[in-house]
Amino acid sequence: MEKLDPLFQPLQVRDLEIRGRLTMAPMTRNYSPDGVPPDFAVEFYGRRADHDLGLVVTEGIAIDHPSAIGESGTGGWDIPDLHGDAALGEWARIVRRVKSSGAAIFPQLWHQGGLRVDYTGRHKEARSISPSGIWGPDDPGNFFAQDYLDRARASSHPATDEELADIVAAYGRSAKNAIEAGFDGIAIHGAHGYLLDTFFWPLTNRRTDRWGGASLRERAAFPAAVVREIRQQIGDKPIMFRFSQWKLHDYEAKLVTSPAELEALLGPLLEAGVDIFDASTRKFATPAFEGSTLSLAAWTKTVTGSLTMAVGGVGLAKDLLNRSGAEVVSVDNIDDARAMLRNGECDLVGVGRSLLSNPDFGSRVRSGEPLRPYTLEAALTKV
């Protein structure tokens, strides 16, 4: 019976009741060159929230720090920020529209780290920073344009302790501004090779001070400090933290190879105040570790006892690695997500590209209608 469908059951997170488990996952939109969301963003988010989503997590939003955002070698990153009355005013409009539909909304706070090229973006005076001045692997595959690679590898420098203190404060300031603009909680981007993720990764974090070390727990210290500052600034509002094994510059990277290592990585973040872990994978139900059928989200819930979100390829036949301009056919894997919810393996289901081609995704899932395929046109949609 529909009333028993786990996708549409409420979820309590601290003082927030989320009306259902379907979540709009964060997706880069590249439509805010001045750091201010465009007019169409109000209905872009609102239209999707109208169709049974429980939670909307926005695109990446740069924190209030000059080194947070730049440009890529394949075009402008053009991500909005929370600095200045114009940006906050537009986000407040988006928040009101989404909440008018009954959905909750979190901003995803973001710092690009070593993936930013020096002196680019809206703060051309700013240097790019990373834990140890190391961009990443020697052979990153073909995700990035060569021109970008040449510039990015030469640009970032090891962050000083003073710079890192400023960044922690910027996360807290941006989170507080977001809550004052009406957001229901905060999502933190700690995945995919951006700043916080590069502290976890031994390849990019070779620091010997309090922000580095040989163990996963030691390398989680700086991201945990960010979480603590945000918790201090926003009180009892929920905090979500996105983490991943894979990076944009290494799709086969592995931060952890066992449940014990996963617990060591996430423990400091949980202690610092994370309520929901967003386990970003390319296929949401893929087993995380050899010898087990459990996904990364399921293992995260097992070792932390925390709420988790499963994300990656919901409704689609191909994962992110296999994306292209060609049509990606829809696939009915929604029952797999339902099973994970029923089995207590996750608490939220993140939907990305399927929501671009199906703004009415939630209604289609509820009624059993087939999903539209994901296309290049959908990827560029403004509606």
**For 154-178, how does the pLDDT look when each residue is reduced to its tens digit (9 = 90+)?**
777 999 999 999 999 999 999 999 9
pLDDT at 320: 58
pLDDT at 141: 66
Query: 158 φ, ψ to 5°?
Result: -60, 130
Is the pLDDT confidence value at 316 over 50?
A: yes
Kindly report the average pLDDT of the chain as a whole number: 91
State pLDDT tens for residues 334-380.
Answer: 999 999 999 999 999 999 999 999 999 999 999 999 999 988 888 88
pLDDT at 331: 76
Task: Indicate the pairing of strand 11-13 with strand 16-18.
Answer: antiparallel
- Complete DSSP assignment for 80-109: -BS-SHHHHHHHHHHHHHHHHTT-EEEEEE
One-letter amino acid of 351: V
| Residue for token pair 């203190």 | 165
